[in-house]
Structure 1
Amino acid sequence: MDSKQLQQTFLADRAKILLHHPQGMGNYFTFKSAVDILGLDWDELLPNGVYNITGEGYYDMGYMANLIGPPESAVAAMKEHSSWEKLRIYPPDLINELKVLAAKKKFGRELGDNFTVMGVEGAQGGIGYTYATFLNPGDEVITTDPAYFHFVPGAELNGAIVKPIKLGKHNGYKLNPKEVEAAITPKTKMIVVCDPINPFGVVATKEELLEIAAIARKNNIIIFNNITHNTHQTDASAQHYPMASLHSPETPMDHVISVSGVSKGYGMPAIRVGFMGGHPALLRGAFLLKMETTKIHINYPGQYASLAAMQDYNYLKKSTEILRRNYKHIEETVDMTEGVSIPVKPQYGFCMIIDISATGVSAQEIATALLKYKIGVITGDGLGDVGDIEYIRLNYSHPDIKCFELFREALPKAIADAKKGIYKQDVIKFFEKIGSERGKRIIERIKE
Structure 2
Amino acid sequence: MKMQKNSFISRSVHNLKPSGIRKFFDLAANMEGVISLGVGEPDFVTSWTVREAAILSLEQGYTSYTANAGLIELRESISSYMSNRYDVQYNPKEEIIVTVGASQALDIALRAIVDPGDEVIVVEPSFVSYVPLVQLAGGVAVTVETKPENGFKLLPEELEAAITPKTKAILLCSPNNPTGTVLGKADLQALAKVVREHDLVVLSDEIYSELSYDEQHVSIASLEGMKERTIVINGFSKGFAMTGWRLGFLCAPADITNAMLKIHQYTMMCASTPAQYAALEALENGMDDLQEMKRSYRHRRYYFVDSLNEAGLECKTPGGAFYAFPSIKSTGLTSEEFAEKLLLEEKVAVVPGNVFGKGGEGHIRCSYASSMEQLQEAIKRIKRFTHNN
Q: Which position in structure 2 is the counterpart of 1:153?
A: 132
Gaps of 5+ in 1: 36-40, 46-54, 420-448
1:318 counterpart residue number? 292
1:139 touches 1:160 (CA, 8 Å); kept in 2? Answer: yes
Q: Distance in 2 between matches of 1:17 and 1:375?
A: 31
Match of 2:208 among 229, 240, 244: 229
1:162 corresponds to which of 141, 144, 162: 141
**Deviation of the 1:415 alpha carbon:** 3.4
Which of 324, 329, 348 aligns to 1:375? It is 348
Q: 1:205: Cα distance to partner?
A: 2.1
- Residue identity in the other structure for 2:221: A
User: For each residue in 1:178-209, what CA deviation from the matched residue of structure 2 results, as whole angstroms up to 9, or x when unmatched?
Assistant: 21122111100011111112111121121332
Give 1:91's aligned residue. Answer: 66
User: Counterpart of 1:291?
Assistant: 265
Give, in whole Å, the separation in 2 of the partners of 1:124 and 1:204.
21
- Relative to 1, partners in 2 of residues 1:328 and 1:252: Cα closer, same or farther, differing over 3 Å? closer
Match in the other structure for 2:169: 190
Alignment of 1:398-437 (within 5 A): 398=370, 400-415=371-386, 419=389
TM-score, length-scaled by structure 1: 0.80
| 1:212-291 pair list within 5 angstroms | 212-235=191-214, 238-246=215-223, 248=224, 251-291=225-265
Task: After TM superposition, list the pairs within 5 Å mapping 1:317-356 onto structure 2.
Answer: 317-338=291-312, 340-342=313-315, 344-356=316-328
What is the CA–CA distance in structure 2 between the aligned matches of 1:30 and 1:234, rounded to whole Å?
31
The 1:415/1:76 distance shift into structure 2, 3 A limit, reads same
Equivalent-residue separation in structure 1 for 2:62 and 2:199 (angstroms): 43
The residue identity in structure 2 corresponding to 1:148 is F
Contact preservation (8 Å) 1:366, 1:415:
no
Aligned to 2:5: 6
- Paired residues of 2:175 and 2:211 also in contact (CA < 8 A): no
* Equivalent in the alignment of 1:101: 77
> CA shift at 1:381, angstroms?
2.1
CA distance in 2, matches of 1:327, 1:63: 16
SS in 1 for 2:41: coil
Q: Decide whether the 8 Å contact of 2:97 with 2:250 is kept in 1.
A: yes
Corresponding letter in the other structure for 2:368: Y
Alpha-carbon distance between aligned partners in 2 of 1:268 and 1:113, rounded to the nearest angstrom: 22
Whether the 8 Å contact between 2:38 and 2:366 is mirrored in structure 1 is yes
TM-superposed CA distance for 1:369, in Å, is 3.9
Q: What per-residue deviation string (whole Å, max 9, x for no partner) do you get for residues 134-175 of structure 1?
A: 111111111112111011111122222222111113433122
- Match of 2:364? 392
The answer to whether the 8 A contact 2:176-2:321 is kept is: no
The whole-number CA distance in structure 1 between the counterparts of 2:343 and 2:198 is 47
- The partner residue of 1:73 within 43, 49, 54 is 49
**Which residues of structure 2 form unaligned runs of 5+?**
none
Q: CA RMSD in A?
A: 2.4
Task: Give distance in 2, aligned partners of 1:265 and 1:109.
Answer: 19
- Of stretches 174-183 and 224-233 in structure 1, the one that deviates more from structure 2 is 174-183
1:252 Cα deviation (Å)? 4.4
Change in CA separation of 1:113 and 1:354 when aligned onto 2, cut-off 3 Å: closer
What is the match of residue 31 of structure 1?
24
Change (3 A) 1:170 1:362: closer
CA deviations 1:302-331 (Å, max 9, x no partner) are 112112223322212210111011111112
Normalised by the length of structure 2, the TM-score is 0.91
Question: How many residues end up aligned between the 2 structures?
Answer: 383
Q: Any conservation in 2 of the 1:322–1:397 contact (CA below 8 Å)?
A: no
Match of 1:66, SS state, is coil
Q: Find out whether 1:63 has 2:39 as its counterpart.
A: yes
CA contact (8 A) 1:203 1:239 kept: no
Whether contact under 8 Å (1:29, 1:378) holds in the other structure is: no
Cα distance change on mapping 1:103 and 1:245 into 2, 3 Å:
farther
The code of the aligned residue for 2:334 comes to: S
SS of residue in 1 equivalent to 2:108: helix
Which moved further from structure 2: 298-307 or 109-118?
Answer: 109-118
SS at match of 1:330: helix
The letter of the residue matching 1:179 is E
Amino acid in structure 2 at the alignment position of 1:31 = F
Q: Which of 203, 206, 219 is the equivalent residue of 2:185?
A: 206
The answer (yes or no) to whether the contact 2:175–2:212 under 8 Å persists in 1 is no
What residue is the counterpart of 2:280 in the other structure?
Answer: 307
2-side partners of 1:28 and 1:66: how far apart?
17
Using the aligned pairs only, state the percent identity. 24
Give the CA deviation at 1:263: 0.7
Q: Does 1:140 align with 2:119?
A: yes
The alpha-carbon deviation at position 11 of structure 1 amounts to: 1.3
1:446 matched to which residue of 2? Answer: none
Contact 2:100–2:272 at 8 Å: present in 1 too? no
Instruction: Return the alpha-carbon distance in structure 1 between the equivalents of residues 74 and 352 of structure 2.
Output: 36
1:414 partner letter: F
What is the SS of the residue equivalent to 2:38? Answer: coil
The alpha carbon displacement at 1:366 in A equals 3.0
